[in-house]
Structure 1
Amino acid sequence: MDQEFQQGQANAADDGLWQECLDRLAVEVPSQQFGAWLKPLRAQYMPASATVQLLVPNRIALDYIRGRYLERIVGLLNELSGRELRIELGVAARGGAVAGAAGRVVRRPARVAPPPAAAAGADMESLVNRVQADLLAQLDQPPGSEQAHRATQAMRYADHDGEVTAPVVRSNGFESDDMQDGRAHGQGVSAGQDGSAAKPVPSRLNPQLTFENLIEGSANRMARAAALHVAHAPGQLYNPLFIYGGVGLGKTHLMHAVGNQVLRDQPQAKVLYIHAEQFVTDVVKSYQRKTFDALKQRYHSLDLLLIDDVQFIAGKERTQEEFFNAFEALLSKKSHIVMTSDTYPKGLTDIHERLVSRFDAGLTVAIEPPELEMRVAILINKAKAEGIALSEDVAFFVAKNVRSNVRELEGALRKVLAYARFNSKDISIPVAREALRDLLSIQNRQISVENIQKTVADFYKIKVADMYSKKRPASIARPRQIAMYLSKELTQKSLPEIGELFGGRDHTTVLHAVRKIAQERQQQIELNQQLHVLEQTLKR
C-alpha cells in the first residue's frame, strides 16, 4: 500500500537503530563502497507501524543498493530491533514524487512548482543514465581499486538531470545535513525570462570542506599554501593551479576549500566544482541536443572552475576540444582554473599536447601520502568529530600501520570505533589490532623490500644485484638510496633490517639515505615526480 514519506516521525539516527545498522555495515563493507553508497542513506524509523523508510539520492543508487545491500540491511534492522520491520526504499527526487524500490511511486506535496526544464524528454534522461551506467559497471573492479573508487564517487554525485551534485534528501520540506540548498553554498541566483527569480546556479561545493578542517603537514603544505593564495586572490598568480597525487590524499578537499573561501570573500562569484566525468556528460548532452551555445555560456562565464580528476577526459576528442575552448575563454577573462589529477601534466596520456602544455603553464604541486605525525593528527581530529577522545598511542598504532591515504585511514578508524562499540570495549591498542587484523595482514603481504628493490631497479635500469653490491657509482648509489627510502616509508622494517636486506649495510647508512632522499624530495620536482610514480606502482 502506497504511503507518504512523513517528516514528523522519529528519525532512526536519533534512537540509534539506523546508526547501529550503519556501524555493522561499516565493518562488513569496504570503506570506499560504504562511503559512496551506504553512508549517504537517510532513514526514518516509525516504531508505531514497524516501518523504516530509507531515502537514496537517485535511481542508480536505489538499483545498486537494492541489488547489493538491501537484503543485508533488512536482516540487520530486524536483528537489531528484535522485531519484523517493513523496509521502504525510495528515491528523494527533485520533483514531487519519491520512487519506491518496488517500482511504485509514493506521492508527496511539491515545495515549489517544477521549472519547465523538468519536462525534458525521456530520451535525454535515458542517455544520461546510460553514461552513468557505464561508470557503474566499473564497480566490478576489486573493491579497493582506484577504478572502483572513482566510479562510486561519480555515481554518488549523479543526479536526475545529469548534473553533478552531492546527495540531497527531501521529504515534505526535510533536507539532509549533507547538502543544503543553494543559499547555504553561496550560489548565485539568475533571473528568469519573466524577471522573477530562477533557480540558484549551483556551485556544487560541499560547505563542510574548508581550509580550517584540513589537517596540514609536510605532505600537503605546498599545495595548501598555493590553494590558499588562489582562494584569496583568484585570477592572479598560479593560474591554472594543477594539483596531483594518489587516491584519497585530500585533493578534492583542497578544491572545495578554495571554492568555499572564494564564495566567502565574494558571495556573487560564479563558482563551479565538477568532476571531469560530468564535463564529458555535459558535452554528450550538448551534442545530442545541439546546445553547444548553452554549454559555452555555462562554462565560459565562470569566475572559478574547479575540475576534479582531469585525466578522465583522456581519449575523448570532442570533450577535449570543448575543454580547451573553455580553458582559453576563462584565462582570457582572468578567471581561475584549479584542476586535480592522479599524475603530473606530462604524465597524462591520450590528452592533446596543447592542453597538457597549458596545464603545465601555471603551478603544478603534489600532495603526497601523509607522514606519520600528520596521520596521527588526522585520526585524533576525525575521532573528535565523532565525539570520541582517541588516545595518542592508539592513533599512533593505527597511523603506523595505515600509510597509503587519508580515505583508508578514515576507514580504519571507523572499523576500530565500530568494533569497540559492538564488543563494549574501551578503545586500546589490542582492540585496534583485533579490529584491523585483516587489513594489517593484507598490507604486510602487499609491499616487501624485495619488491621495492626490483621495482626501483627496473625503473632506473640497473640490476637488482646492484642493490646488494658494494659498487658506489652515482648511477647505482642513487637508486639504492631511493630504494632504502621507500623501504622505510612503505614497510614495517626497522633500519637494521633494511640494512641487512641491502647487502648487510649498517643502519646508519640506511638512515643517511632516508634523510637525504626525504630532504631532496622537498627541493627537486623531478625527484618528487619519480618517487610519486614509484609509490603508485608499488601500491597497485
Structure 2
Amino acid sequence: MIDSVFSISFDELSPARDVTRGKRAERGLLREFIGDAQNSLIRHAADSILVDPPLHSPLLFYGPTGVGKTHLALGLIRLWQRMHPDSRALITNGMDFTRAYREAYDADAIDDFRQRMRNVGLFFLDNLEQLPENETAQVELRAIFDELEQRHGQVLINSRSLPADLPQLESGLVSRLHDGLAVQVTAPGPAARRAILRRLAEIHGLELADRDLELLADELTSS
C-alpha cells in the first residue's frame, strides 16, 4: 500500500455465469477498485462478502453518483460468484424491482415473482433511492431480505443516501437496512486519483510523466 492507496482486484475472474444485467462490468476499463484512506472501510466490507456465512447482510454502499459504487458492487459480485459457482446472483434496481412486483401482482403471479427473487444466494439492489413510495413492494423487499438472512445469503444495496434520509421508505424497511453495515463511498483523494490514472494509462499503453499525472489528477478534483 502506497500513500494509503489500496486496490481490490476483480481480475483473473471468469464472467459471472448467473448474474443478470451484468454487462456493465464487462465494458468497464478498470477490473479493480482503487481507493484510499477515506474509503478504507470498503476493504473490510469486501472481505465480509467472501466468507460463509456473510458477516454483514444487508451490506449497503452509499454515496453520490460517480464515486464507483456500482463498479465496486459488480466487481464484488464477480468475486462472490467465483466462490459460489453453483449459486445464483440477482441484480436489479429500485425502479425495476417495483415494476416487476406490480406486473406480477397484476398478473396474479406473485408466487413466481417470489421464487425468482428469493431463490438466490446473493441479491443486489442498485439505486435504492429509486424505490418509489409503494408500501406493499417495500414490505415484499423486506421479506426477501429476511428469507436470505435465514438461508445465510448476501444482500447488497447501493444508495445515494442512508436509508433514514430517503423519506419514501417505510419505517420497517429502514430499520431492516440499518441492521446491516452501511459503508460510505467517497470520491477518491489525490493519491487514489493518481493511481487510477496510472492504471488507466497502463491499460491503454500510454506513458505519463509524474507531472502529467499530477495535472490530470488536479483536473479530476471537481469531476
- Is the TM value for this pair above 0.5? yes
- Contact map agreement 1:372 1:400 (CA 8 A) in 2: yes
Determine which of 147, 169, 186 is the counterpart of 2:17. 186
Give the deviation of 1:184 after TM superposition: 3.9
Structure 2 residue 210 is the aligned partner of structure 1 residue 397: no
Which residue of structure 1 aligns with residue 20 of structure 2?
203
Larger Rg: 1
**Counterparts of 1:317 and 1:353 in 2: how far apart (Å)?**
10
- Contact map agreement 2:48 2:54 (CA 8 A) in 1: no
Which residue of structure 2 aligns with residue 255 of structure 1?
73
**Superposed CA offset, 1:189-211 (max 9, x none):** xxxxxxxxxxxxx4333454699
Where structure 1 has 5 or more consecutive residues not aligned to the other structure, the ranges are: 1-182, 188-201, 409-540
1:306/1:235 Cα in 2 relative to 1: closer, same or farther (>3 Å)? farther
Task: Please tell me the residue identity of whatever aligns with 2:16.
Answer: H
Structure 2 residue 42 is the aligned partner of structure 1 residue 223: yes
Give the deviation of 1:299 after TM superposition: 0.9
1:211/1:336 Cα in 2 relative to 1: closer, same or farther (>3 Å)? farther
* Identity percentage of aligned residues: 25
| Aligned positions of 1:468-483 closer than 5 A | none
Give the total of aligned pairs: 208
Give the deviation of 1:343 after TM superposition: 1.0
- Contact map agreement 1:186 1:268 (CA 8 A) in 2: no
TM-score, normalised via structure 1 length: 0.37
**Superposed CA offset, 1:226-274 (max 9, x none):** 12321x1153311111110111111111111221011111211111122
Q: Secondary structure at the match of 2:36?
A: coil
Give the deviation of 1:387 after TM superposition: 2.3
Q: Secondary structure at the match of 2:221?
A: coil
Which residue of structure 2 aligns with residue 368 of structure 1?
186
**Counterparts of 1:236 and 1:185 in 2: how far apart (Å)?**
19
Structure 2 residue 141 is the aligned partner of structure 1 residue 310: no
Where structure 2 has 5 or more consecutive residues not aligned to the other structure, the ranges are: 1-13
Task: Please tell me the residue identity of whatever aligns with 2:128.
Answer: V
Q: Secondary structure at the match of 1:203?
A: coil
Q: Secondary structure at the match of 2:21?
A: coil
1:337/1:235 Cα in 2 relative to 1: closer, same or farther (>3 Å)? farther
1:272/1:247 Cα in 2 relative to 1: closer, same or farther (>3 Å)? same
Structure 2 residue 166 is the aligned partner of structure 1 residue 348: yes
- Contact map agreement 1:243 1:341 (CA 8 A) in 2: yes
- Contact map agreement 2:70 2:126 (CA 8 A) in 1: yes
**Superposed CA offset, 1:394-422 (max 9, x none):** 22112113224xxx4xxxxxxxxxxxxxx
- Contact map agreement 1:380 1:392 (CA 8 A) in 2: no
Give the deviation of 1:359 after TM superposition: 0.7
**Counterparts of 1:210 and 1:222 in 2: how far apart (Å)?**
24
- Contact map agreement 1:308 1:340 (CA 8 A) in 2: yes
1:235/1:306 Cα in 2 relative to 1: closer, same or farther (>3 Å)? farther
Structure 2 residue 104 is the aligned partner of structure 1 residue 286: yes
**Superposed CA offset, 1:372-413 (max 9, x none):** 111111112122222222222122112113224xxx4xxxxx
Q: Report the RMSD for the aligned CA atoms in angstroms.
A: 2.2
**Counterparts of 2:176 and 2:142 in 1: how far apart (Å)?**
9
Q: Secondary structure at the match of 1:219?
A: helix
**Counterparts of 1:396 and 1:329 in 2: how far apart (Å)?**
49
More helix by share: 1
1:228/1:210 Cα in 2 relative to 1: closer, same or farther (>3 Å)? farther
Which residue of structure 2 aligns with residue 384 of structure 1?
202
Which residue of structure 1 aligns with residue 94 of structure 2?
276
- Contact map agreement 1:283 1:295 (CA 8 A) in 2: yes
**Counterparts of 1:234 and 1:345 in 2: how far apart (Å)?**
26
